[in-house]
Amino acid sequence: MRHHWTTMGTEASIVGSDLTAAVIAEVERGFADVDARFSLYRPDSELSRVAAGSLRLDDASDDLRGAYARALAWRARTDGAFTAHRPDGVVDLSGVVKALAMADAAALLDAGSRDWQLGVGGDLCWSAGGTSGPFGIVDPADRSAVLAAVVPAASRRALATSGSAERGEHIWTRLDLPVSPFVQVSVLADDIVTADVLATAIVAGGEATLDLATERWDVDVLTVDRAGELRATPGMRAAIRSAAPVG
């Protein structure tokens, strides 16, 4: 069974052989709730009201303050490469809330299905022990082409790609950091939040953040620089070699 819908300004899909309509509906509701609370494109969202100054952050819901705390924790762990703020100081949690919504959806799908895949805006997570690839990584120079296909190691349950290919230039960077050489970064990890946050952080922070991420976390990484050159960690090279050829 394959189910598609639009959420959070992007396309989403669930694939599984034993999915029920009830589980799919619950997953969709979860994403709709996150979008209604956190979208800065919706003036009625809770986060838009915080940005407009009509709602104090201290008075916001537990969900919003919790997501903000998670984003701040990731900022500290990545030495500031990941950020919860736009350059003008507005709180922007788009770098973490989609992954948090995917993680919540994964828990629902695990409870209701033995074999599933969830894709949202180019990021993927899947069931433990279920079908795990090959998964295609989009070519940042040609969105209709596949840059590489990967078959993750058994423990990996998430693949996130960050850069301009899916959503254009949208990653905020600190002005005191060197300009990153990377236009796209893909991260394989054991969970979608780690994969998504680190992919974004490495695009923003460049070489230093790539080194930090691979030292601090057990992840596999594929980077594409401005010259189109690819670099892969050993685990990512093994995942790419394991994949069937892409025709």
Domain ranges of the chain: 2-242
> If pLDDT is split at 50, 70 and 90, which confidence band does 177 have?
low
Q: Is the per-residue pLDDT at 122 higher than 50?
A: yes
Question: Per-residue pLDDT tens for 49-60?
Answer: 999 999 999 999
**Count of other CB atoms within 10 angstroms of residue 220:** 24
Q: Encoding tokens for residue 205?
A: 């922070």
With H, G, I as helix, E, B as strand and everything else as coil, classify residue 228.
coil
Percentage of the chain modeled with pLDDT above 90: 80
Q: What is the pLDDT of residue 243?
A: 66
Give the residue carrying structure tokens 């790609």.
Answer: 161
pLDDT of residue 178: 62
Kindly tell me if the per-residue pLDDT of 171 is higher than 90: no
Q: At what angle do helices 21-38 and 62-77 cross, to 10 degrees?
A: 80
Q: Which residues contact 211 (CB under 8 A, 6 or more apart)?
A: none
pLDDT at 199 over 60: yes
Amino acid type, 197:
V
Mean pLDDT of 204-233: 96
E-only strand ranges, 64-121: 116-120
Average model confidence (pLDDT) for the chain? Answer: 91
Distance, C-alpha 231 to centroid of its chain: 20
Per CATH, is 2-242 categorized as 3.10.520.10? yes
Burial class (CB in 10 A: 0-12, 13-18, 19+), 192: buried
Average pLDDT, stretch 204-217? 96
